[in-house]
Structure 1
Amino acid sequence: MAAERTSEGFADIYKGLYGMKRTEWRVLFHLGRYGPMTAQEIGARARVHKTKISRAVRDLESKRFLTRSDHDLDRRSEILSLLKAGESAYGFLVERASAYERDLQNRLTRREAQSLKSALRKLAQFD
């Protein structure tokens, strides 16, 4: 419940500013943070089904946030890259995400915040 509430709070920001859905933000985030990659790579990193990634890529492309180019080694794949508008949106949203995270952390004591981060890191590595 806490994860959903905090996620919804940040979703209000990227949806309000850019009309993005959650999967679009996740695609934009991965391309902004890690650079050009395939939709399959994003899906694996973000743990999102390929049909949702495909829809998000199409929607971000229509917003002129990303572009596709041929993959040199695999003709079935395309390399996705951010365009200037996508880079700008990514930069702005990362700043907003940091501010949002600080606001959430301010609701906890320093010790609670450290314990929460530690526990979440452990859970993220769980298979």
Structure 2
Amino acid sequence: MSSLHLDSFLPYRLSIASNRVSGVVAITYQAMFGLRIPEWRLVAVLAEGEGATQQALGAATRMDKVTVSRAAIALAERGLVDRLPNPGDQRSHILSLSAAGRALYEQVAPKAIEMEARLFEGFDAAERRQLRAMLERLEAAAAALETERG
């Protein structure tokens, strides 16, 4: 029988790495911009598109609907997103960045890129490409397992 050693169990190591990176990012975004990670994720996704429903935002960010809802409410209260009725579904809204939200994104995005560069200072370009490719394969494998489980 194999025994599990948590420190060498890759899903655990990925979770620890993710938590550490997210923690550093969270502290920075909170201190500089008053944003929590879920709020920043919504701002970033909305900046890349024309607007989206909370359901679509949840799918894009892999966050649960309660987290998306709370983040959307916080952003709307700060005037960073506009909530417009969804003509295709009267029970939902289309969220889009307001002018203030877009201005905030323009301030945060360069800091995000700078933070990414600092995190990967010890990696050369080939290692970064390899890590990205491996993460994509890992995400695809996890998606396949999700599909198997229904």
The alignment's TM-score, normalised by the length of structure 2, stands at 0.78
Alignment equivalent of 1:10, drawn from 8, 22, 25 = 25
Letter in 1 for 2:98: L
User: Is 1:100 the equivalent of 2:129?
Assistant: no
- Runs of 4+ aligned residues of structure 1 deviating over 3 Å after TM superposition are none
Partner secondary structure for residue 14 of structure 1: helix
Per mean C-alpha deviation after superposition, the further-off stretch among 88-97 and 54-63 is: 88-97
Query: C-alpha displacement at 1:31, in angstroms?
Result: 0.7
Partner of 1:90: 105
- Give CA deviations for 1:61-108 in whole Å, capped at 9, x if unaligned: 111101101111110111101111110111221111111111122122
Partner of 1:29: 44
Partner secondary structure for residue 34 of structure 1: coil
Q: Over alpha carbons, which structure has the higher Rg?
A: 2
Letter in 2 for 1:111: A
Partner of 2:80: 65
How far apart in 1 are the matches of 2:115 and 2:139? Answer: 20
How far apart in 2 are the matches of 1:41 and 1:114? Answer: 28
User: Is 1:19 the equivalent of 2:34?
Assistant: yes
Partner secondary structure for residue 48 of structure 2: helix
Partner secondary structure for residue 106 of structure 2: helix
CA-atom RMSD in angstroms:
1.4
Higher relative contact order (CA 8 A, sep 6+): 1
How far apart in 1 are the matches of 2:138 and 2:49? Answer: 22
* Structure 2 unmatched runs, 5+: 1-15, 144-150
Percent identical residues = 30
Query: C-alpha displacement at 1:110, in angstroms?
Result: 3.4
- Give CA deviations for 1:35-85 in whole Å, capped at 9, x if unaligned: 211111001111111111111111011111011011111101111011111
After TM superposition, the structure 1 = structure 2 runs for residues 44-63 of structure 1, keeping only pairs within 5 Å, are 44-63=59-78
Letter in 1 for 2:87: D
Partner of 2:11: none
* Structure 1 unmatched runs, 5+: none
> What number of residue pairs does the alignment pair up?
127
